[in-house]
Amino acid sequence: MLDIRSQFLNHFNYAPLLAVQSPGRINLIGEHTDYNHGFVLPAAIDKYIQVAIGKRTDGAIHMVALDLGQTIILPIHHLAPHATSWVNYLIGVVHQVLEKINTKDDLIKGFNICIQGNIPSGAGLSSSAAVECAVLFALNELYELQLTKMEMALMAQKAEHQFAGVKCGLMDMFASLHGQKNKVILLDCASLAYTYYPLVLKDYSIVLFDTQIKHALASSEYNTRRLECEQGLKMIQEKYPSLKTFRNINIEKVEECLAFNNNSTNAKIYQRCKYVVEEIERVQLAVKDLVAGDMLAFGKKMFATHEGLSKLYEVSCPELDFLVEAVKQNENVIGARMMGGGFGGCTINIIKNSAVDAISQEIAANYLSAYQQPLAIYSTSIEAGTHLIA
């Protein structure tokens, strides 16, 4: 990427007051559990969104998307969802800030902002959350709003709900803001308590295989899964009203309350809830594997997660299944699964360092042959969360 400060200077003829770097994220295990009050295990990575920002005095937001070569200017008052999709991730968090601080006189005079990044679009690495967190962090620093990282994460989540129309959980924003180098974060999505754990990979690397495909039903089906889980929870609560979330529900309760409904709709609800309850337990067991240094056991749980996402939650796709199956029997791959919302994007793989190149070349050739689509491959490392660029 080009120097973001120089880019700002070129566009606005003055130096930015500050610049911010905000990472994408991976999630090692715990998919679609965040909005179901479960646990997730994300980490920030070495792919980023950067912003540079400076003040205006005319009540306008002047936004420059450097990678797209696009400029959008909007009044800061009366912000509403915009027809240009990338704009919504930016103005959505501005709207949240304005609602939270009410009348911050300096902010409502507007600002200039340049944005760029190297997070692959559509790969399931949460480029949208990185944008939101970068802009929020920049506004927080620029206007001395004194927001905590958790407050910013919750505001970014609300912005995505209201402006992007995706009823996402908190994980992506949380991980982007809270990441630490070489550490994963166990986030309790019910209490928002979190704990850092070192990720000791030794002779292994995290490698992402990007299908470079995003099937059109990804966003709509994401919202449908949330609804199906909510319906299943209500059905269980009809018999057990004291059970408030899936955190309190074991697989026996799912079987008892949902498994014997014969119509197809209820069968789907049973499958969704079965996956969620199993995955919540799987994350907690996987953390014990990390603490014990048993990466082989951890990797087996990643494969089990993919099976659940594909067969029960039905958010995988043929391309993702192909990539997981292609490495499942390889002794140099200890774990693999689809990652993110589903219907495209990446698989995350833990591969022995000495075998990364050979496996990558073989999988890429086989994928191209099967789908006439090139496979993008990213080796990634665990890095710090959103921060000022010195």
Burial of residue 69 (number of CB atoms within 10 Å: 0-12, 13-18, 19+) = exposed
Gyration radius of the chain's alpha carbons: 21
Backbone angles phi, psi at 362, to 5 degrees: -65, -45
Question: Among the options 34, 172, 188, 321, which is catalytic?
Answer: 172
Distance CA 169, CA 166 (A): 9
Distance CA 231, CA 258 (A): 11
Distance CA 25, CA 174 (A): 10
Closest CA to 309 of 337, 270, 336, 281: 337
Using DSSP's 3-state secondary structure scheme, residue 245 falls into: coil
How many CB atoms sit inside 10 A of residue 198's CB?
A: 13
Six token digits for residue 50: 């950067």
Q: Helix (H) and strand (E) counts for the chain?
A: 11, 13
Residue count of the chain, please give it.
390
The verdict on whether 357 is a catalytic residue reads: no
Q: How far is CA 284 from the centre of its chain?
A: 19
Please report which helix (H) or strand (E) contains residue 276, including its range: helix 264-292
Distance CA 16, CA 333 (A): 45
Six token digits for residue 354: 């000495």
**Strands 60-65 and 110-117: what pairing?**
parallel
Distance CA 19, CA 115 (A): 10
Angle separating helix axes 127-142 and 85-101, nearest 10 degrees: 40
Burial of residue 237 (number of CB atoms within 10 Å: 0-12, 13-18, 19+) = middle
* Residues noted as catalytic: 172
